[in-house]
């Protein structure tokens, strides 16, 4: 049975001043993380000692319409945006989840994908625990609730000692936030502050949008507790080699975020630069596959000394492609999304830079559009290696069949997308551009080497 | 902590023909039970071996808009409508709930209120089970899931051996429906059939609306199992004195339903007739408090040989009063809801018949309206005894302070509602009209004698 | 080309106190007139010297959601609810309409149907006036605008000297309301008052709901002007024989309204009484076709000395049948709308009283339901004559083919609806019950004699 | 009284094949023109010889939800998107308008603003024509309807001989489309084709999105008639000096459109290049004010040989600023819209390129954001001259007080927006970059010289 793969964003805020309402910050924080999940959003907040939840399907401003209507206030709020690849768009699966446990009310919001969820699920149901969703967030919450005789912190430590895979979650009880990243730090999570308000976010960009200061990234395996006594940090899991998802750098994160101390935009420029060094080429112009290829394209154009221009215009009234649930929507959307600018392209040799190729459909259509726009020759430059292997940690690419590079060679892909030239960044170039070794990052999608056992 | 009090309706349908879609029957069945819950509705259905859920807030046609859009089909569907008295109008609390358990997927829809839920909840959380709502339905489901090593039927029997209070629930796994009433049968549940389709409903009226035949009422303590092999009935709980909620006869059920073999409308007429016998009075006309007093008013008018007329017109575009969540809505609603017909009332001595007085607000305003309409004298005749004691089994009247008869004498109530005369049916008259003894029905709200221990 | 037939309700309010907001009164007034039109609603209000409009499709609380959101205030507000029989459910056709004319901004809301609209329309378009809807309200407004050199009052008089048919309208400019009924007073319109606020309403029932006093019904051909100087009444049309629509008494108006000085409910009782006198019959019980037959059924039961009872229960969550736009909805709706109460009907001879038969579908299904409920014999008693002739003045019955009595004899209708006995009230009985002569009322739908020429 | 200023987009489609449905093309075409109006959308279509209209507020996919639901089909469809600067967001003002005239049903959709509308309005109302909106589209339609005795083409010619100002409209009767641009061609309108389908669009970019071929731009003063006989072109107005709105090049049009034979993107690059030539400056990087400054920034960076980079990230889930109705929304929106990328900006001298400064608010906030992001020095380069004078032809800038350059000097603006350096393109540079003389374009907003008399 297929588990729900999740790409998600978390934003939480806690004010030391019990009278201060942090709902607007969480609303805006979620809005800033909207690119991490467009399918559903939810907010849990502490209200008179118990936890209330507001949830809905759609973008933040749609999904949280109820919270706009009722205007609850709270100094302790946990929010989540979500995208799922499966068809289960039910409100039942929308986070945060709230559990009524021996530790009182607990809410959870999680990002990432466990790879031993089947076992965990079986253990829990066999011992008679009721599970009501197919999400990892509920599994983690149920695993904590199971440890009813331990104190909260021990209950968490004990629970996550059983979980394998990628997770970054924030728990909220009636006093504290507990934020934890898996021992390899596969999914990002960081802490910010604005005066009396502590904030936890999947990405640092949300702090900027809220006017807050970026304090630190939570370390892999680190548990951060935030409550009236301030912030407490402690390692609760034996740390392993770090394995931040490389796809966060390549595509998922916003360019204005900082991950593992590095600027996402700068890394993307570096990827383009590296690609230029590896595969020099002359051309009339360099352009980006809108919009995710722009940073890399700028790096490549500068490296090769070629002019950068805009060859395709994107209708700003559509969202981005990769993250939508079903294949069909993806295809229809593109038709209206991009238009070639013929005067730019006419009779030109063009280098089209994209961040990655996953399914290949977008590339094929984009190349076709460029030719319709008059381009004489189209070289497709991908600022990452071939995406050959499924991701089990949360990127919507669990099925090898969906991955064009899984079954086709570079030359076959070139033909499939209709390009004159196709080049990928090498795996070494990827590490070089990011400034890490293969042991310091998860690049399982490219290398097939996963940082954990996979037991799905 | 206040549990959520529930008045609810359940409707389920199962076709022996796996290709037959019963979604429309459940939709219509819920619509027929709409009077039992206007706040939320949900439907669980079997689809390719797993259970899908659709839920929403509002009336059936609003709450189940998604199901109209997506048009799923299934031969096995469980539905629920719900009304809560507390403010927790969150979609999280909407039934059916689906549990993923050692027995596979199970959905539950319940009607009634347990009176030992605090204990059950504590037992479950202490043993580490995760609870995600404050509902009894989830408690029952979790209690069943707990018995992971028993077969389904034993797991149910074992679970309900711990529950005290009113409950009527339907469980659905991937093969069967399991319908059970508490050992005293406090909340109704019955079975119908239309060709290959078995139906389970809170009230028999829904069968009529679906064109189905009413087969039987489930006995107190009886478990009914419906699957491909047909219907199986067996007693799983030691039966106690029956204690059907008397308020179902008086107000809650639809007049076209049959409860414990008796026509609700006929019982209401009998209540009015009995009241006429107990408290004869001369008047110019008998009228009903719209609309729930009509049956009783007809009985009373006929008993007293007085003309029955319509003294108040109800705007048909508002729902009924008693069942709405907050007090304020109740007050605003009435202003636009009723208009006196002056030509009927002018200088007349009027007997206004109502089914019951709970809070007294509606009565006070209705009497006021009649006087504004010109009535010379208003006698208020209540076709049930004073509602003095809280109900712990599911009627929205858990707080004694809300009950006017809890603190005021008959004379004080008369003054409070501004009537010239006020009469109630006696407790004995109530039993007489229904044709039961005190031991055969729950009249705790009138007598203070409850059929179970109360441990809330 | 088919004109849009309209059944409508109008409610307007004007406060002498410029700072007093009358929007809530108009909102509530329209709600009270909801039975006159469930398809759309609109409100025009004076705001800083110009007229703003809010409109929408659906019931008042749906259609005017925007006004609830924006909360505009005004001391001068004109509202309208509308039902159309044709398929044109566009918001373009929703009243009030606002015209920018040589007389400044003017809003109009109208009830009724002109019978020379084709000519009026042709005259206007030929002279180059732009018409943007197919409604009579716009025709009247355009006809007034045409008289750009006359003062407002003369412009109105001049315009209506050309119109033939049923109309009751309220105009609003930046100073005054102008309310006018056609010279035969075919459609109702009346005036009420609450302290500083004058109100104009299609029916008096709305005054009760607003807590206002009912002042007077506007006379046929009378123009009522309301502004800072109070109320001014004057006859602007040579008065002809009054011809109030008899169907207002029979079905359209709310029973708590007063029309031509008579209580609608009392008239309906009298119709039933008269029917009882004309066609005496013995039976076990008299019951009403829910809900519009109730008043007449009470009159008939009392006249015949037979018990009145409830044989059918109506699901209160559906609206009434007659007024819905398409035939298909009508059929589906009934199935869920009514349930027979078998214990009442079983082996009984039943007189089913209904206000009228238009298409016959509802009667046929109701009789069928009664038989399914066990009735031994069903006599259908219609408290009005056979509806044989189309109505051109606003009742949704312009097509003779839709009228069962147009083509079938009484005996054929009896068979068509499956009744054992069918009786209608005679035309004389109708007049007798109402207390008018044939010359004092429009009963064209029964007699075929129309009070105006018909030029459609 | 303030007329409604309109920025709008038009898209129409006509298939020679009467059975071919062109609704999807118009829907998609409007979507492609969404940047021209985000406030409302409407569609008129020919159905069985008469014209049906669908309208709503909001973006296309919201406003035309009804058309998605009902799925009407037609081979002749006219659509419109609209943005208004005033507060009148009523559905009453949404185009297309349909008139019932002596020429039959006519629909109109217009882009532009007349400058003698007061006179036209007065003339029409004085002669007794009813006007129901404050829009120019209705004025034009009423002026055509007025000529009831002329044939359609003459009626149009006669009507537009009275209108002064900017207009581009498409009329639809039951046979033909009539598309016309004002004699100076101030607003764009062009014709495309896809097999049997002719299309008319405000901008050529929409043809690309529909897969259609761009045939020609309608000439100033030219009337294009499209019907079963194909396309007919004729001049109906004495042509004057062309005066295409220069702001279409600078900001309004999509970069992938062609206007007066020139690529909008290329013109914008040329504006940046010209600005670089006029005001050379050394800096660490050139960046664009997102997103409208990108083309010009690329031109400037290339001219000056400076690196182009991304210094601000825009949240793709918000629309663009300039075009929103109220000032307050503009301010709140920016906070969440843009984030500086500190690693790019830190200690850098930055040239920020924007297309224009209208109110100055956005520039001030953007400069502030750049400084917060660490920029050492910020030079603001505007690729157009100071916007000093109001626009009367449709750009939302009718009030001189809203224009920062109307009252402040360059130095004062620099201080107001907090820049270290501020430079504008000269008027001559503007003409040079576009390749026109001052007599061939409307640059009234910069020069104060308007191509028509202004009589507002």
B110 Cβ contact list (under 8 Å, min separation 6): B6, B8, B10, B80, B95, B135, B136, B137, B140, B167, B168, B169, B170
Nearest to C310 by CA among D315, D110, B301, B90: B301
**What is the crossing angle of helices D327-337 and D361-372, to 10°?**
20
Q: How many CB atoms lie within 10 A of CB B376?
A: 14
- Strand D222-227 relative to strand D177-181, pairing: antiparallel
Identify the bridge partners of residue D422 per DSSP, sorted by sequence position: D380
Task: Please check whether residue B145 touches A, CB under 8 A.
Answer: yes
Task: Please check whether residue B134 touches A, CB under 8 A.
Answer: yes
Cα separation, B352 vs D36, in Å, equals 64
- Strand A421-424 relative to strand A377-382, pairing: parallel
pLDDT value at B332 more than 60: no
pLDDT value at D117 more than 70: yes
Cα separation, D380 vs D382, in Å, equals 6
What letter does residue A308 receive in the DSSP assignment? B
Please name the chains neighbouring A, where neighbouring means 3+ C-beta pairs under 8 angstroms. Answer: B, D
Are C312 and C338 a contacting pair, CB within 8 Å? Answer: yes
Task: Please check whether residue C273 touches B, CB under 8 A.
Answer: no
pLDDT value at A275 more than 60: yes
Indicate the helix (H) or strand (E) that contains A273: helix A264-278
Domain C264-447 matching CATH 3.10.20.440: the answer reads no
Number of C–D residue contacts, CB under 8 Å: 98
Contacts of A125 in chain B (CB under 8 A): 100-102, 145, 148
A388 CB-contact burial (10 Å; exposed 0-12 / middle 13-18 / buried 19+):
middle
CB contact under 8 A, C266 and B302: no
Q: What angle do CA C66, C70, C71 make, to 5 degrees?
A: 110
Nearest chain B CA: its distance from C209 CA (Å): 5
* pLDDT tens-place string over residues B188-246: 999 999 999 999 999 999 998 888 999 999 999 999 999 999 999 999 998 789 999 99
Task: Please check whether residue C194 touches B, CB under 8 A.
Answer: no
Cα separation, C353 vs C304, in Å, equals 13
pLDDT value at D332 more than 90: no
Q: What angle do CA A109, A114, A118 make, to 5 degrees?
A: 115
Give the pLDDT band (50/70/90) at residue D334: low
Question: Torsion angle, CA of D243/D249/D254/D258, rounded to 10 degrees?
Answer: 60
Cα separation, D174 vs D49, in Å, equals 6
Comparison of pLDDT for B301 and D92, the residue scoring more? B301
Contacts of B295 in chain C (CB under 8 A): 310
Task: Please check whether residue C332 touches B, CB under 8 A.
Answer: no
3-class SS letters over D90-153: CHHHCCCEEEEECCEEEEEEEECCECCHHHHHHHHHHCCCCECCCCHHHHHHHHHHHCCCCCHH
Cα separation, A47 vs B371, in Å, equals 45
A151 Cβ contact list (under 8 Å, min separation 6): none
Give the pLDDT band (50/70/90) at residue D330: very low
Are C332 and C315 a contacting pair, CB within 8 Å? Answer: no
Q: What separation, in Å, do the N-terminal and C-terminal C-alpha atoms of chain B show?
A: 10
- Strand C168-172 relative to strand D312-314, pairing: unpaired
How would you write the pLDDT of chain C (456 residues) with one tens digit per residue? 233 445 799 999 999 999 999 998 998 899 899 999 988 999 999 999 899 999 888 888 888 887 777 788 999 999 999 986 544 567 788 999 999 999 999 999 999 999 999 999 999 999 999 999 989 999 999 999 999 999 999 999 999 999 999 999 999 999 999 999 999 999 999 999 999 999 999 999 999 888 899 999 999 999 999 999 999 999 999 878 999 999 999 999 999 999 999 999 999 999 999 999 999 999 999 999 987 899 999 999 999 999 999 999 988 775 333 332 333 333 345 667 788 999 999 999 999 999 999 989 889 999 999 999 999 999 999 999 999 999 999 887 778 888 999 999 999 999 999 999 999 999 999 999 999 999 999 999 999 999 998 877
- The complex scores an ipTM of 0.88
* pLDDT tens-place string over residues D344-391: 999 999 999 999 999 898 899 999 999 999 999 999 999 999 999 999
pLDDT value at D134 more than 70: yes
Nearest to D205 by CA among D157, D154, D158, D259: D259
Domain with CATH 3.60.20.10 in chain B: 6-240
Q: How many CB atoms lie within 10 A of CB B164?
A: 18
Cα separation, B37 vs B35, in Å, equals 6
Q: How many CB atoms lie within 10 A of CB D104?
A: 15
Length of chain A: 456
Task: Please check whether residue C335 touches B, CB under 8 A.
Answer: yes
Q: How many CB atoms lie within 10 A of CB B69?
A: 9
Largest CA distance in chain C: 73
pLDDT value at D307 more than 60: yes
Identify the pLDDT of residue D367: 95
Cα separation, B317 vs A348, in Å, equals 68
Q: What separation, in Å, do the N-terminal and C-terminal C-alpha atoms of chain D show?
A: 9
Assigned CATH for D6-240: 3.60.20.10
| Mean pLDDT score of chain B | 90
Give the pLDDT band (50/70/90) at residue A428: very high
Contacts of C34 in chain B (CB under 8 A): 315, 317
Q: What separation, in Å, do the N-terminal and C-terminal C-alpha atoms of chain A show?
A: 10
Identify the pLDDT of residue C327: 36
Identify the pLDDT of residue C337: 79
Contacts of C309 in chain B (CB under 8 A): 269, 298
pLDDT value at A342 more than 60: yes
What is the Cβ-side half-sphere exposure of residue C366, based on CA atoms within 13 angstroms?
28
- 3-state secondary structure at position C217: strand
* pLDDT tens-place string over residues B8-63: 999 999 999 999 999 989 988 998 999 999 889 999 999 998 999 998 888 888 88
Contacts of B1 in chain A (CB under 8 A): 50
User: In terms of pTM, does the model score above 0.80?
Assistant: yes
CB contact under 8 A, A145 and B127: no
Task: Please check whether residue C134 touches D, CB under 8 A.
Answer: yes
Query: Which of A236-250, A272-286, C328-342, C429-443 has the least mean pLDDT?
Result: C328-342
Question: Torsion angle, CA of C327/C331/C333/C337, rounded to 10 degrees?
Answer: 140
C70 CB-contact burial (10 Å; exposed 0-12 / middle 13-18 / buried 19+):
exposed
- Percent of chain D surpassing pLDDT 70: 93
Identify the pLDDT of residue B90: 73
Q: Where are the alpha helices (DSSP H) in C59-213?
A: 60-63, 65-70, 117-126, 136-146, 152-160, 205-209
- Note whether D touches B: 3 CB pairs or more under 8 A: no
| Strand ranges across the sheet with C230-235 | C97-101, C104-111, C168-172, C177-181, C222-227, C230-235
Comparison of pLDDT for D306 and B456, the residue scoring more? D306
Cα separation, C8 vs C222, in Å, equals 20
CB contact under 8 A, A100 and B1: no
Centroid of chain to Cα C203: 9
Domain with CATH 3.40.50.2020 in chain D: 264-447
Identify the pLDDT of residue D83: 81
Contacts of B129 in chain A (CB under 8 A): 128-130, 145-146
Residue B355 φ then ψ, to 5°: -70, -35
Residue C8 is a catalytic residue: yes
Indicate the helix (H) or strand (E) that contains A148: none
Query: DSSP string of A186-247?
Result: -S--EEEEETTEEEEESSTHHHHHHT-EEEEEPPTTEEEEEETTEEEEEE-S------EEHH
Are C147 and C155 a contacting pair, CB within 8 Å? Answer: yes
- D285-314 residues touching A, CB cutoff 8 A: 291, 294-295, 298, 302, 307-310, 313
pLDDT value at B77 more than 90: yes
What letter does residue C344 receive in the DSSP assignment? H
Q: Which active-site residues of B does the annotation give?
A: 8
Comparison of pLDDT for D318 and B5, the residue scoring more? D318
Please name the chains neighbouring B, where neighbouring means 3+ C-beta pairs under 8 angstroms. Answer: A, C
Are B348 and B285 a contacting pair, CB within 8 Å? Answer: yes
Indicate the helix (H) or strand (E) that contains C183: none
Cα separation, B268 vs B291, in Å, equals 12
Of B90, B102, B130, the CB nearest to A99: B130
Contacts of A302 in chain D (CB under 8 A): 307
What letter does residue A21 receive in the DSSP assignment? -
Cα separation, D116 vs C272, in Å, equals 65
Task: Please check whether residue B32 touches C, CB under 8 A.
Answer: yes
Nearest to A107 by CA among A72, A144, A133: A144
Cα separation, B69 vs B73, in Å, equals 12
Identify the pLDDT of residue C318: 59
Comparison of pLDDT for A200 and D70, the residue scoring more? A200
Identify the pLDDT of residue B42: 94
Cα separation, B393 vs B112, in Å, equals 6
Query: Which of A213-217, B236-240, B388-392, C44-48 has the least mean pLDDT?
Result: B236-240
Indicate the helix (H) or strand (E) that contains B387: none
CB burial readout D365-391, b (16+ within 10 A) else e: bbbebbbebbbebbbbbbbbbbbbbbb
Question: Torsion angle, CA of B193/B194/B198/B204, rounded to 10 degrees?
Answer: -50
CB burial readout B395-411, b (16+ within 10 A) else e: bbbbeeebbbbeebeee
How many H helices and E strands in chain A? 17, 23
Task: Please check whether residue B69 touches A, CB under 8 A.
Answer: no
Are C113 and C393 a contacting pair, CB within 8 Å? Answer: yes
């Amino acid at each position: 049975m297929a588990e729900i793969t999740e790409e998600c964003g978390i934003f939480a805020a806690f004010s030391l001043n019990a009278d201060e309402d942090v709902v607007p910050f969480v609303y805006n924080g979620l809005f800033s993380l909207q690119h991490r999940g467009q399918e559903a959003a939810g907010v849990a907040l502490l209200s008179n000692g118990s936890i209330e939840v507001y949830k809905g399907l759609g973008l933040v401003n749609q999904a949280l319409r109820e919270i706009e209507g009722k205007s609850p206030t709270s100094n302790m709020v946990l929010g989540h945006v979500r995208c799922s690849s499966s068809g289960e768009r039910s409100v039942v699966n929308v986070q945060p989840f709230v559990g009524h446990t021996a530790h009182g009310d607990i809410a959870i919001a999680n990002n990432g994908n466990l790879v031993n969820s089947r076992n965990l699920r079986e253990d829990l149901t066999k011992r008679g625990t009721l599970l009501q969703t197919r999400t990892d967030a509920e599994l983690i919450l149920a695993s904590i609730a199971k440890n009813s005789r331990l104190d909260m912190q021990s209950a968490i430590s004990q629970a996550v000692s059983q979980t394998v895979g990628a997770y970054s979650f924030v728990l909220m009880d009636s006093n504290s936030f507990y934020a934890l990243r898996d021992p390899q730090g596969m999914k990002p999570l960081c802490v910010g502050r604005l005066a009396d308000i502590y904030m936890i976010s999947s990405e640092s960009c949300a702090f900027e949008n809220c006017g807050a200061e970026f304090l630190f990234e939570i370390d892999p395996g680190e548990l951060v507790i935030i409550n009236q006594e301030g912030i407490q940090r402690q390692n609760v899991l034996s740390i392993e080699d770090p394995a931040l998802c490389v796809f966060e750098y390549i595509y998922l994160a916003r360019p204005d975020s900082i991950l593992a101390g590095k600027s996402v935009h700068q890394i993307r420029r570096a990827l383009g630069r590296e690609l230029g060094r590896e595969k020099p080429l002359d051309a009339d112009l360099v352009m980006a596959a809108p919009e995710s290829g722009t940073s890399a394209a700028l790096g490549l154009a500068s490296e090769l000394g070629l002019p950068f221009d805009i060859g395709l215009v994107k209708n700003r009234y559509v969202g981005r492609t990769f993250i939508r649930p079903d294949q069909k929507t993806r295809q229809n959307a593109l038709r209206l999304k991009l238009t070639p600018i013929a005067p730019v392209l006419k009779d030109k040799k063009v280098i089209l830079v994209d961040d990655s190729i996953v399914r290949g459909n977008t590339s094929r259509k984009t190349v076709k559009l460029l030719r319709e726009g008059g381009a004489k020759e189209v070289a497709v430059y991908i600022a990452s290696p071939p995406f050959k292997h499924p991701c089990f940690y949360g990127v919507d690419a669990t099925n090898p069949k969906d991955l064009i590079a899984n079954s086709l060679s570079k030359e076959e892909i070139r033909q499939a997308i209709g390009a004159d030239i196709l080049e990928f960044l090498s795996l070494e170039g990827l590490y070089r551009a990011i400034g890490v070794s293969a042991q310091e990052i998860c690049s399982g999608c490219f290398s097939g080497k996963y940082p954990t056992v996979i037991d799905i």
